[in-house]
């Protein structure tokens, strides 16, 4: 009996694996068309200045509404786009949308856009960002690009040069998911980050795990010394917010303030954040 049950599990596992591979192939096959057809678009999640409670920015997050498979998470399609070679195209498509949409954001807040490893390795990164800014008319000072530590694992010198060029035209560079992956202090020595985004895994347990708070405070002190701002990701409760304010983190982002929404729904999300008092009141005249 045990043997046949074991065998059944193998068959079951085999089928699940085959379905998974089939789904990945489906996604890979449809990627290029989806980018061209606008099935992949940017949603925006607001960021809040913790000291003043004011709106301080919004992050563009890619979404895919697939006609057959339904909504697919970027956690699933970004890695597939990376291995299939569509990620550079996809990344610039999101960047273009974000720069265009940001022109309509209230209070001239900046927009943050995630850059993939392949984009940071792209020879045309600086020229493409410059061109998209020119075409859309968004001032460079209103664009922030987020990269993860992993971009500095390959050909770090070349990537650093490209990121510095972007900074020289006025674009800010943020280190995303800080504290996860292969964190190395060398990444802080070799490049002047404008922002450190502390990964949400540290925020999640900040009330229960003393070490998480100790780490956040240490990062915050380090950031101050190197002239970078600290953003905390994944703020979900007022209790978390209170403690993060107490240790002087600069900016908060998370479901407490709002989930990622389409550009059209952003004003409503901002109004809701005001109504729930997670955001200070901004004069209505500031809305577009
Ligand atoms: P990320 O850049 O670290 O983005 C933050 C993620 O945390 C988003 O997931 C966001 O929806 C989620 N999040 C925000 N607040 C909360 C919260 O309070 N609680 C929890 N549990 N989660 C929260 P999302 O949208 O699924 O994106 C996942 C990742 O996919 C992003 O992580 C980013 O690495 C990648 N990604 C998304 N869009 C793009 C893109 O246009 N280009 C590239 N290269 N990567 C992207
Ligand atoms: Mg990000
Ligand atoms: Mg992150
Ligand atoms: Mg992340």
Residues 128-144: pLDDT tens digits? 999 999 999 999 999 99
pLDDT for 229-249, tens place per residue?
999 999 999 999 999 999 999
Ligand 2: centre distance to CA 111 (Å): 11
Separation of alpha carbons 143 and 96, rounded Å: 11
pLDDT of res. 284:
43
Report the mean per-residue pLDDT for the chain.
91
Tokens 């909504």 correspond to 71
Per-residue confidence band for 190, with pLDDT thresholds at 50, 70 and 90:
confident
Regarding the beta carbon of 45 and ligand 1, being less than 6 Å apart is answered yes
The pLDDT > 90 percentage for the chain reads 80
Minimum-distance ligand 1 atom for the alpha carbon of 115: 44
| Mean pLDDT, range 248-266, rounded to an integer | 97
Ligand 4: centre distance to CA 280 (Å): 27
Tokens 């949603």 correspond to 43
Minimum-distance ligand 1 atom for the alpha carbon of 119: 44
Separation of alpha carbons 198 and 203, rounded Å: 8
pLDDT of res. 97:
98
Ligand 4: centre distance to CA 3 (Å): 42
Of the listed ligands, the closest to the CA of 178 is 3
Separation of alpha carbons 248 and 80, rounded Å: 38
Regarding the beta carbon of 177 and ligand 1, being less than 6 Å apart is answered yes
| Residue nearest (by alpha carbon) to ligand 1 atom 14 | 254
pLDDT of res. 7:
61
Regarding the beta carbon of 278 and ligand 1, being less than 6 Å apart is answered no
Mutational test site, ligand 1, from 31, 57, 58, 114, max ligand atoms within 8 Å of CB: 114
pLDDT for 27-70, tens place per residue?
999 999 999 999 999 999 999 999 999 999 999 999 999 999 99
Q: Burial letters for 98-124: b for 16+ Cβ neighbours within 10 Å, e otherwise?
A: bbbbbeebbeebbbbbbbbbbbbebee
Ligand 2: centre distance to CA 6 (Å): 42
CB 101 within 8 A of CB 137: no
Q: What is the ipTM of this complex?
A: 0.97
pLDDT of res. 91:
96
| Residue nearest (by alpha carbon) to ligand 1 atom 17 | 234
Higher pLDDT, 278 or 35: 35
């Amino acid at each position: 009996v045990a043997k046949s049950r074991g065998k059944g599990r193998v068959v079951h596992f085999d089928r699940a694996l085959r379905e998974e591979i089939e789904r990945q192939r489906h996604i890979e096959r449809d990627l290029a068309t989806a980018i061209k057809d606008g099935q992949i678009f940017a949603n925006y999640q607001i960021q809040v200045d913790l000291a003043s409670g004011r709106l301080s920015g919004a992050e563009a997050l890619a979404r895919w509404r697939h006609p057959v498979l339904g909504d697919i998470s970027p956690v699933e399609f970004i890695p597939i786009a990376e291995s299939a070679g569509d990620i550079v195209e996809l990344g610039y498509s999101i960047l273009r949308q974000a720069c265009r949409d940001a022109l309509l954001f209230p209070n001239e807040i900046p927009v943050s856009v995630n850059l993939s490893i392949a984009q940071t390795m792209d020879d045309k990164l600086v020229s493409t960002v410059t061109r998209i800014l020119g075409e859309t008319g968004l001032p460079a000072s209103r664009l922030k690009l987020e990269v993860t530590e992993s971009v500095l694992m390959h050909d770090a010198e070349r990537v650093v040069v490209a990121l510095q060029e972007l900074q020289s035209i006025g674009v800010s560079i943020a280190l995303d998911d800080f504290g996860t992956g292969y964190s190395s202090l060398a990444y802080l020595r070799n490049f002047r980050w404008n922002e450190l985004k502390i990964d949400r895994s540290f925020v999640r347990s900040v009330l229960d795990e003393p070490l998480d708070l100790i780490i956040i405070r240490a990062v915050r002190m380090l950031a101050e010394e190197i002239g970078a701002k600290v953003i905390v990701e994944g703020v979900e409760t007022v209790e978390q917010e209170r403690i993060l304010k107490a240790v002087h983190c600069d900016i908060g982002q998370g479901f407490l303030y709002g989930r990622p929404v389409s550009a059209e729904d952003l004003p409503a999300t901002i109004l809701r954040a005001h109504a729930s008092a997670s955001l200070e009141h901004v004069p209505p005249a500031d809305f577009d």
